[in-house]
Amino acid sequence: MTENAKRPTVEELLVKAESRKLDPDGVRAAFEHSSTPGFVDKTADWLPESEHVHELLLSLMESTLDQGGRVLDLGSGMGRLTTMVLDRFPRCSVVAADYSQTMREAATTELSRYGDRVSQIDFDMFSSDLPQDIGKFDAVVSGFAIHHGRDLMQYKSLYRRIHSFLKQGGIFVNLDHVAGEDRAQTIENATEWRDFLDEDGEIESDKFIYGSYVKDTPISLRNHVQLLGEVGFEQIEIPWQKMIFALYT
Ligand SMILES: C[S@@+](CC[C@H](N)C(=O)[O-])C[C@H]1O[C@@H](n2cnc3c(N)ncnc32)[C@H](O)[C@@H]1O
């Protein structure tokens, strides 16, 4: 940007991204064509309190998984959360589910260290069925993937399916991009996020924000909580929320 070029406001960035929003095939193609070089965790560059929130995410599953158990990682990507769960809970196994072959391949070397404690499946969380013989899970975990739901009905139907994947007393934990409760709050949260990205300086913030909103279709925490309740989840909590991100269970 030249010195005189006016920097877009966050609202302008969001409006531009929304006007060019990728359809579901476009989102999928973006993951399929991403140049993920393998396992590289750069989350700390763009996620506030990254270490703290991941620790919190794992601690939420402690009482369920301490003695072992089966975990489904939805939208597992290069296996970041999968490996965190496998390291933290040595008696657990994880099914890492992702619809992108590129992302699954990016995960294979890292995941092969865990032998038969981990398996990968090709799975579109919004439309595929799980393999019939896969059994139920003690925990379903997800990170930065569920925000690709397109509307409330699609989110609700995913939550109903997640509920059905779980054993009685199982736990669902999601760390994700969420919308504000209204437009003004969405812009305020995204502005705070841009300030955070600018402070860190590792990332071209405007490009990153545009890239996120062109792909993601986040909904508000109030909507998440309501939908989870409607499909039968009890004890819904939001242990952490910062800028455009939240951890809910
Ligand atoms: C931003 S990455 C996050 C990966 C990982 N969960 C993490 O926290 O590092 C999002 C992942 O979700 C996957 N994904 C997006 N939509 C999906 C869908 N409908 N079904 C399965 N995987 C999906 C993408 O292929 C990608 O690997």
Helix (H) or strand (E) holding 30: helix 24-32
* Within-domain flag for 140: yes
Helix (H, G, I), strand (E, B) or coil at 90: coil
| Ligand 1 geometric centre to CA of 199 (Å) | 27
Is ligand 1 within 6 A of the CB of residue 126? Answer: yes
Helix (H, G, I), strand (E, B) or coil at 146: helix
* Within-domain flag for 68: yes
Is ligand 1 within 6 A of the CB of residue 100? Answer: yes
* Within-domain flag for 173: yes
Name residues whose C-beta falls within 8 Å of residue 114's C-beta, 6 or more positions apart in sequence. Answer: 83, 86, 94
* Within-domain flag for 233: yes
* Within-domain flag for 213: yes
The total number of structural domains that make up the chain:
1
Looking at the chain, the number of H-run helices and the number of E-run strands are 10, 7
| Ligand 1 geometric centre to CA of 40 (Å) | 15
| Ligand 1 geometric centre to CA of 3 (Å) | 37
pLDDT tens-place values along the chain, 249 residues long: 555 678 999 999 999 999 999 999 999 999 999 877 677 788 999 999 999 999 999 999 999 999 999 999 999 999 999 999 999 999 999 999 999 999 999 999 999 999 999 999 999 999 988 998 999 999 999 999 999 999 999 999 999 999 999 999 999 999 999 999 999 999 999 999 999 999 977 789 999 999 999 999 999 999 999 999 999 999 999 999 999 999 999
| Ligand 1 geometric centre to CA of 33 (Å) | 13
CATH number of the domain residue 243 falls in:
3.40.50.150
Overall pTM surpassing 0.85 (yes/no)? yes
Ligand 1, atom 10, lies closest to the CA of 145
Range of the domain at 204: 10-248
Is ligand 1 within 6 A of the CB of residue 174? Answer: no
Residue type at position 70 = R
* Within-domain flag for 1: no
* Within-domain flag for 34: yes
Is ligand 1 within 6 A of the CB of residue 31? Answer: yes
What secondary structure letter does DSSP report for 182? S
* Within-domain flag for 4: no
Is ligand 1 within 6 A of the CB of residue 99? Answer: yes
